[in-house]
Amino acid sequence: MDFKLTEEQAKIKQMAADFAKNDLAPTILERDAAGEFPTELFKKFGKTGAYGLPYPKEVGGLGGSYMSYVQAVMEISKVDAAFGIIYSVDTSLYGGSIMNSSAPIEIKKKFIEPITYGEKIGSFGLTEPGAGSDAAGCKTVAVQDGDEWVLNGSKCFNTNGPVADFTVIYALTDPALGTKGMAAFVVEKGTPGFTVGRVENKMGIRQAQVSEMHLENVRVPAEQMIAKPGEGFKLAMKTLDGGRIGVAAQGLGIAKGAFEAAVAYMKQREQFGKPICKNQFLAFKMAELATQIKSAELLLYNAVAAHDEGRYTIEAAMAKLACTDAAMEMTTWATQFMGGNGFMKEYHVERMMRDAKITQIYEGTNEIQKLIISGSLFR
Ligand code: CAA
C-alpha cells in the first residue's frame, strides 16, 4: 500500500494547515470558552469548497479524494477539534447519507451543492434517547400521506443540529419490521413542527452545537425520502463507517497536536538542571506514544484505502478505535508532562484532553468498534 500523498492531497493538507494556523489558532481559547458556533470561520473555510471535497463534481462537490478530506480534518483538528467535528459531521455524516443513498442525481445535487462552499450546513439525526449504541431501537416514525411523509419523534445528541439547514432524519415507516422498516429523509430547517430542543452543555468540543431535535407532524415531500423503507438502517450504518474515518482523522489530529505541544515544552522546560526530555522515563513514554500515534495513522490510511475500494466497515472501526485511543492517551500524558502548566488553559493540552474524550464515544463508542471488529473474527 502506498501512503505517499499525491500533489492534490498535499495541497489540501497545506491549505487546511494554513487555515488552522492563521485563522483558528489565534482565537481558539476565546472561542472554546464562549462555546458558540464559529459562524464566520465556518463560512471562511467554506470558500475553499472543503465541505464537499470528496463528492463528485456532478453533484456540486469538488471531486477530491477521501484522503484529501481526511488530511484536512486532521490538520484542522490539530488546532481546533470542535471545528474538526463540525466539518466531519457536515461532510461525512450529512453529505455521506446523501451520497450513499439511492436518491436520484438531481436530489443529491440539490442537497450536496449548497454545503460544498459552506452556504448551508448539514446534520445527521439517528440517535434517540432510547437508541444510542443500539441504533435499531429507533422510535421516530414516518407515515405516508399522499405525496408527503409525516414524521413524528425525537432525536438527541445531534451535532450541528441547532445550526443545520438540512438534517437527515432516520425513521421507521413500519415499526413492526424494526431495522427492515427504516427509511431516511432530508428535513429542512424551518419546516413546521421541526424544532430544536435542549442544546447540550458539554465537557469538550464546546463550539460544536449539539442538541435534541423534535419532530411533530413534520410534513416532508416524498422526493426528500433519500432511503426507501428497508434501506434506511443500512444507509445509516454505511454512512457511519465513513463518519468513523472522519472521527479517526479528528482523533489523530488531536493526538498530533498534543504530541507537538509536548515535544516543544519538554525541550525548553528545565528541571534538575536539564531539559525534562533528558529524563529517560519521560523520553521513553514519548517513544511509546510516538509509536502508538504512527500505528494509528497507518490504520487510518489503511481505512482510507479500503474506503476507496468500497468495503471498509472493519478498517474504519479499527482506525476509529486506534486513533481516538491515541488521542486520549497522548493528551492525558501531555497534560501530565507539563505538570501545573498543563492544567492551565493557555498551554492548550487540557482543552485537547477534554476534546479527545468524546472521540472515544461518538459515532459508535469504542466498545461498539470492538463489537464490530470481534464480530468479523469468528464468522
Ligand atoms: N454497512 C452496511 N450494512 C450494514 C452495516 C454496515 N456497516 N452494518 C450492519 N449492516 C446491515 C447488516 O448486514 C444487516 O442487514 P440484514 O438485515 O440484511 O442482514 C442489518 O444492517 C442489521 O445489522 P446488525 O444485525 O449487525 O445490526 P445491530 O442492530 O446488531 O447493530 C451495531 C449493529 C454495529 C451495534 C449498530 O447498531 C451500531 O453501529 N451502533 C452504534 C450507533 C452509532 O454509531 N451511533 C452514533 C450516531 S451519530 C453520533 O454519534 C452523533 C453525532 O452527531 C456525531
296, 199: one domain: no
**Measuring from each residue's beta carbon to the nearest atom of ligand 1, which residues come in under 6 Å?**
89, 124, 126-127, 133-136, 157-159, 179, 233-234, 237-238, 240-241, 313, 362-364, 368, 371-372
Cα 133 to Cα 112: distance, rounded to the nearest angstrom:
28
Top mutation candidate among 86, 169, 237 for ligand 1, by most atoms within 8 Å of CB = 237
Of 157, 234, 314, the residue with max ligand 1 atoms within 8 A of its CB, to mutate for a pocket test, comes to 234
Nearest ligand 1 atom, CA 241: 7
User: Higher-confidence residue: 346 or 311?
Assistant: 346
Give the dihedral of Cα atoms 155, 158, 163, 165; nearest 10 deg: -60
Q: Are residues 61 and 161 in the same domain?
A: no
> Which amino acid belongs to residue 329?
E
Quick: pLDDT tens for 44-91: 999 999 999 999 999 999 999 999 999 999 999 999 999 999 999 999
pLDDT tens for 99-116 read 999 999 999 999 999 999
What range does the domain containing 155 cover? 123-228
pLDDT for 96 equals 98
pLDDT one-digit tens code per residue, 299-309: 999 999 999 99
- The alpha carbon of 94 and the centre of ligand 1 are apart by a number of angstroms equal to 16
CA of 136 to the centre of ligand 1 (A): 8
Is residue 227 within 8 A of residue 235, CB to CB? The reply is yes
Catalytic residues: 363
Q: Measured from the CA of 375, which atom of ligand 1 is nearest?
A: 26
Q: Nearest Cα to 145, choosing from 41, 260, 225, 45? A: 225
Q: What is the dihedral of CA 335, 337, 341, 347, to 10 degrees?
A: -60
- What CATH number did the domain enclosing 47 receive? 1.10.540.10
Distance 350 CA to ligand 1 centre (A): 33
Domains in the chain, number: 3
| 262 & 246 share domain | yes
Q: What is the pLDDT of residue 3?
A: 74
Higher pLDDT, 2 or 285: 285
User: What's the CATH code of the domain at 206?
Assistant: 2.40.110.10
pLDDT tops 80 at residue 2: no
Q: Rg of the Cα trace of the chain? A: 21
Cell of 51: 465541505
How far is the centre of ligand 1, averaged over its atoms, from the C-alpha of 377 (Å)?
A: 17
**pTM, to two decimals:** 0.97
Question: What's the mean per-residue pLDDT of the chain?
Answer: 97
